[in-house]
Chains A and B, each alone.
Chain A
């Protein structure tokens, strides 16, 4: 381990923060804040690329780990580390930052400094969530990630920003109170906030089952709101339609799904398994409900929101099927969905900037006037609906096939129905916006296709979608190895006392027959 390996994760947390401070100190009149923010995010992205380059595949446990005492009492540690599960998610966060900044380049005209400073703080908070291995540290970043998001939604909301921001904030903040109580309860029983230690202790069954069950429910509840899962999705549509494009692309999914896999399934496997049937039922309801609502939307932000609900529910289905392939597919789908959502938000954002309307029926016939937008939009759409050879297919296939084989055929069939509905609403959206005759709105404004900067970020995204679809084996083994301790424990492997929970025999075949 050289010195950069030992401090890379700290750098990841500090560089965006330093960039934010720098942005805050620069004058607001020129585009200087934009450039500083872009530069910071590119440097950060470069740093995240260091991780896969030096990540030792197949090595158990966490890598690039840092574990230092932070606060004496209670014993909170600055414990960060990365494994196959979080590796590519961190890279994704790194990638989406420059994408978001370029997307906001011209869209954000007022108070750029505040926007970019908060945007970079948001990035630090998200890195923090993915890297933290100390529950209090994790909780800190989890809460911190709410603040810049809420402020920016309120500042740059399209119609009623503060209302959407309040909804978003309270929806996530209130369930995190039981989460904190659960974390404190675990600390009171063990004297440790450390993820690895707690994992071992809980696996050895040193707790009363009833209390542990409540703990697990508190964790699940907090994460389920953040994902969101079916009855808890009230904040999603408003946030999608109000949030600036750069933030809307990271608002849902990633943090909640990762937290579910790491801290709910990872810490409380038995309780998670007990809760799984209910979660699966809700997930399938979410898939169908989201898809049906997406079909009925007239506003494309809201359509995207319910589409996201449907897709995120599919990932939840993968996670709680407790099959290795299902979990791997879900994580893969997080990556794919992150790319697709970013591209769709960018494209719709650029349409909104030009035509100032998010009503779908105000558009029409744009394919002839904005060919580049249309091409990229169709690519993103096809990825979203899971066309083979594109990234959406891999995850969806893994989740559905493992659910079919390992969980329940009925649920899998219903979920597959959601996928068909997904194709329907997305293709219908494409048809209504880009084909048909020109509407009043689209014919009355000058047609400005994507600029150079936007192409510069959209093309790599499209290439990545293709690459993730064509060569999933570049990514899958790492993810699988990161996910597998969870899956392994669930098929009944017992952890020997004293061994690291990740040093388990490799599970080659699919587990979790129910």
Chain B
């Protein structure tokens, strides 16, 4: 029997859900004139608690709860901490940058926290139906966040585009799950994996794999499922983009890792070339398209597609090294991307009147701090050593080389040369002397306590991943290890061994 109370297995999610409900209730009871800003601090506090709760989960023995539907292992803790960290930074960023009179400010905080519940649950779910529910929780929050600026043209467009395409993609995922259930008679990941490995007839399983991959690759915005990304990023408020481009992707990558390495290890020879192709396509398409962008948010959207490609390169690696590299890259990418979107938020302002590359001209002269931070995060995105971006790419491509995909690594490195061109264009425009005939210098945003803390967090994580990556790397490796050696199947009385004749359980 399971000695760990089930509730401990989902403690961070519980904390986050309670925080979200609390924020919503307070928001509803407060008189309408009262400032909603303190609610943001409540949400940030709750997220911090959830982060501690995830770390505390490390002391639990690895295992599953709630009849084998959720798992705690160093893998889930790694991604929980990452997601909670991203959410925390986003909340701090939002606190100072949402205008005081913006409507429904309380809802923004609540939605961010509810989204975090879904993302966290997505990383720890080992039951496909729970995976689906978690994905929906996280997606629905982000759909609404994307359309938060409903008075603009682009906001509702972004939300509707994201919603329609996202629902469609989730439909694919669900169909895939249904096919897996049809083939194996179970939706429990370990059970299904065992049955898949033993089954000789794989037609439905292969179809299920394909459909599930489509759904997940849509969520990580890998090419050719990336078309929504630039429009949504452009229309959504920048703090929400900071969240959307990192946390749901981290969760989706966790899901992808779980699906390919835990559910379909038997089909290794099938999904690996597929992901190889998607990786190459993503980086090339993303970088080529980003070269031509004049809008900073669109450029970063395409760059995030390219980064999804770099990350997918890690999947060409052998088990443990590939998973560890992917996990590490997710963390490094999240830190620098949240950071750069924080800077973009401060430069562009809430109304985003200044969102073109040319608007950044002379940023370092106007505001040395923001300019330097922008350049720092861009340098990390380029992948210069002593920043997190370098080691992320480094481990990802080393994993690919280890796995024998030398061509992939070379394409990837050439791509990062290509990417340097557009990152550099922004960085050097920011460094350029302001035009002599410029209109009176517009005031740059004040950097408040909250947003200062957010930037500090992003900078220090990006730097420390580049200078002292040992700890995080060890965590990623132990996460990879738990994913490679799943716990022995939990006794599940409700399990009906489907149409495949199988020995009941592993001894």
Contacts and interface: CB of A to CB of B under 8 A. Distances in A.
A146 B385 CA distance: 11
Nearest to B470: A72
B470 A161 contact: no
Interface in B460-489: 469-470, 473-474, 477
Contacts of B379: 147
Interface residues of B, number: 37
A150 B384 contact: no
Of listed B410, B417, B474, B477, residue having the most chain A CB within 10 A: B417
A306 to B, nearest CB: 25
Contacts of A173: 382, 417, 420
A144 interface: yes
B428 A174 contact: no
A192 to B, nearest CB: 15
Contacts of A150: 424, 427-428
Interface string B365-382: 100100110010001001
Main secondary structure of the interface of B (DSSP, over half): helix
Main secondary structure of the interface of A (DSSP, over half): helix
Q: Interface extent on A, as a size class?
A: 35 or more
A141 B384 CA distance: 9
B375 A184 contact: no
A72 B472 CA distance: 12
B425 A166 contact: yes
Interface string A313-356: 00000000000000000000000000000000000000000000
A155 B371 CA distance: 11
B428 A154 contact: yes
B428 A161 contact: yes
A178 B406 CA distance: 12
Nearest to B433: A155
B368 A114 contact: yes
B83 interface: no
A114 B413 contact: no
A177 interface: yes
Interface string B389-431: 0100000011001100000011001101100110011011101
A139 B385 CA distance: 8
Given A73-B473, A169-B420, A184-B401, A140 B386 contact: yes
Interface string B426-440: 011101110000000
A177 B431 contact: no
Interface in A149-176: 150-151, 154-157, 161-162, 165-166, 169-170, 173-174
A262 interface: no
Interface of B: 364-365, 368, 371-372, 375, 379, 382, 384-386, 390, 397-398, 401-402, 409-410, 413-414, 416-417, 420-421, 424-425, 427-429, 431-433, 469-470, 473-474, 477
Given A28-B368, A143-B390, A157-B433, 10 more contacts: A73-B477, A114-B364, A141-B385, A161-B433, A166-B421, A170-B417, A177-B416, A177-B417, A180-B413, A181-B410
28 contacts: A28-B368, A71-B469, A71-B470, A74-B398, A111-B364, A111-B365, A111-B368, A114-B371, A143-B390, A144-B385, A144-B386, A146-B384, A150-B428, A154-B427, A155-B431, A155-B433, A157-B432, A162-B428, A165-B431, A173-B417, A173-B420, A174-B420, A177-B413, A177-B414, A178-B413, A180-B413, A181-B410, A188-B402
